[in-house]
Amino acid sequence: MVHRNELTAYMDTLLEIERFKDYGPNGLQVEGRAQINRVVCGVTASLALIEQAIAAQADAVIVHHGLFWRGQDGRVVGWMKQRLQRLLVNDVNLYAYHLPLDAAPVLGNNAVLGQRLGLKVNEYIGDQGLIALGEPDGGVAWTLEEIQQKVAQTLQRDPLVIAGDGRPLKRIAWCSGGAQGYFETAIAAGADVYLTGEISEPQMHYARETGVAFLACGHHATERYGIQALAQNVSDHFGIECQYIEVDNPA
- Annotated binding-site residues for a divalent metal cation read 64-65, 102, 219, 223
Which positions ≥6 away from 97 have C-beta within 8 Å?
11, 15, 17, 26, 27, 62, 63, 64, 227, 230
Q: Which residues are annotated as a binding site?
A: 64-65, 102, 219, 223
Long-range contacts of 200-209 (CB under 8 A, 24+ apart): 203/162, 204/162, 207/162, 207/163, 207/164, 207/183, 208/162
Let me know: does 36 contact 3? Beta carbons within 8 Å: yes
